[in-house]
Chain A
Amino acid sequence: MLRIPCPHCGERDETEFHYGGEAGVDYPADPSALDDVAWAEYLFVRADPAGWFTERWCHVAACRQWFTIDRHTVSDEFRPVSEGVRA
């Protein structure tokens, strides 16, 4: 059971959250301008590192806010997110 530090509610059980995967993958400003390869990249390709990873969670069972946080995908430790990455 991960204990996830919600920035609004504090540390809570993982079961209160939805996982959102890699953070910082913006919806393209103009999808029609992307070729099929770039669009497929947006749709399907996400980082999958063994190590620190900036990811998104939504605290669905409480404040329902999305936030980003760094988690180490091997040890499951959390740390505050690196600067400049948004959900």
Chain B
Amino acid sequence: MKPAPRLPEHPPRLWKDAEPKKAYDVVVVGGGGHGLATAYHLAADHGITNVAVLEKGWLAGGNMARNTTIIRSNYLWDASAGIYEHALGLWETLEERLGTTVMFDQRGVLNLAHNLSDVREGKRRVNANQLNGIDAHWLTPAEVGKLAPVLDVSERPRHPVHGATFQPRAGIAKHDYVAWGYARAAYEMGVDLVSDCEVTGFTQAGGRVTSVSTTRGEISAGTVVLCAAGHSAVLAEELGVRLPVQSHPLQALVSELLEQVLDTVVMSNAVHVYVSQAHKGELVMGAGVDAHIGYGRRGSFHVVEEQMAAAVELFPIFARAHVLRTWAGIVDVTPDASPIVGPLAAAGDNVWINCGWGTGGFKATPGIGHVFADSVAHGRAHPLVEPYALERFTTGRLIDEHGAAAVAH
């Protein structure tokens, strides 16, 4: 009966919840990873510290606490590669920046191919990645089997593994450590972190939003920054703007803690599996997005059952592992599976939005925090987020990441 290694300790001091003040230079709506990282960068990079982060529940308790923590940048299109690779670079130095451990573990990510079409698309993406300076390789089934010996790379599965793309610098991190690291660093620079503070409306005057109504009172805002993920559409509606986003349940699950069997992250779009074994030893798996919209943080169990069938098909030794816990988050999905980042001019001159990350927001956290704060501070979209303007839906210049590069996020 061999004891397991403990996880690293959290810092002795994290943050203290603030009582909201009457006014802030910047009010960030949404205390998830993106909101916290944006607030951190506003303070750290631009000296903007009169900032409140308003969170309707507990800090980083939404998708930040519910995602499967996969970090990678091997996206097809230049715009996507740009922002995600920027983020990955920042992940690599995040511990030094925040002064806390985030357990970023570059164990690599495999994206499996199960038919000739997958192989073509995988190679297309690898080539695009390499030319964008992103580490990526194509692996044969045998090479895949070496990296993930518990993955069945034989001809036995219904959809056998024909190969995979591999990004060695990709990996996982520990979401609480990340969120709390940002929260702590922002707090230490004077950012107010306000929990249990739900935004219920906005006051608009003179083409601006002048204040935010919350369950803890009215808060005046110089600039309003929306980072509310699955609740973005609801907030935008309050601002009189209809967004092309739909909020869907997305489920995930963990097994019991198990001795290490899987040293890399495995994703398969064709058979809907993405799995890693977290630091403590649990298998962490993402299931599919439910087809219908929903805010109940509750998905349909048949989605989990389908996920298990796919997992056992690829990983036969998982058949007797146990589902310990399932849960759902609310993901905001756009028509082209790419985010919307930029000014929300229709709501006011001083309103910025960052939403629509669907299932892929966690991995972008450091990158979007950096460039979104830069955009807000300078009053113009950072070049890396320019392609993500809301206007693309009008012009038709979409960044369609599910058409081609359709890799489960």
Bound-state Cα–Cα, A2 to B242, Å: 27
In the complex, the chain A residue whose C-beta lies closest to that of B334 is: A44
Instruction: Say if the beta carbon of A70 comes within 8 Å of chain B.
Output: no
Give the docked Cα–Cα distance between A19 and B243 (Å): 20
Chain A residues with CB below 8 A from B298, complex form: 76
Contacts of B242 in A (CB 8 A): 41, 45, 47
On whether the beta carbons of A48 and B302 are closer than 8 Å, the reply is no
Closest to A71 in B: B292
Least CB separation from B332: chain A residue: A48
- Knowing A36-B394, A40-B393, A40-B394, the reply to whether A14 touches B302 (Cβ < 8 A) is yes
B270-310: which residues lie under 8 A (CB-CB) from chain A? 291-296, 298, 300-302
Minimum Cβ distance to chain A for residue B238 (Å)? 11
> DSSP class of A's interface residues: helix, strand, loop or mixed?
mixed
Q: For residue B295, which residues in chain A have a CB less than 8 angstroms away from its CB?
A: 50, 73-74
Q: 1/0 per position for B210-231, CB-CB distance to A under 8 A?
A: 0000000000000000000001
Interface size class of B (residues with CB under 8 A): 20 to 34
- Classify the interface of chain B: helix, strand, loop or mixed: loop
CA of A74 to CA of B295, assembled, Å: 5
Q: A19 near B234 (CB under 8 angstroms)?
A: no
Measured in the bound complex, the distance between the Cα atoms of B395 and A14 in whole Å is: 36
Q: Give the distance to chain A from B192, nearest Cβ to Cβ, in Å.
A: 26
* B302: A residues at CB distance < 8 A: 1, 13-15
A49 touches B296 (CB 8 A): no
**Residue positions of B touching A, CB distance < 8 A:** 231, 233-234, 237, 242-247, 291-296, 298, 300-302, 335, 393-396
- A sample of 5 more A-B contacts (CB under 8 A), given A74-B294, A75-B296, is A1-B300, A48-B243, A49-B233, A50-B247, A73-B293
Q: List 23 A-B contacts (CB under 8 A).
A: A2-B300, A14-B300, A15-B302, A19-B291, A36-B394, A40-B244, A40-B393, A41-B242, A44-B244, A45-B242, A45-B244, A45-B393, A47-B242, A48-B246, A48-B293, A50-B231, A50-B295, A53-B293, A55-B292, A73-B293, A73-B296, A74-B295, A75-B296
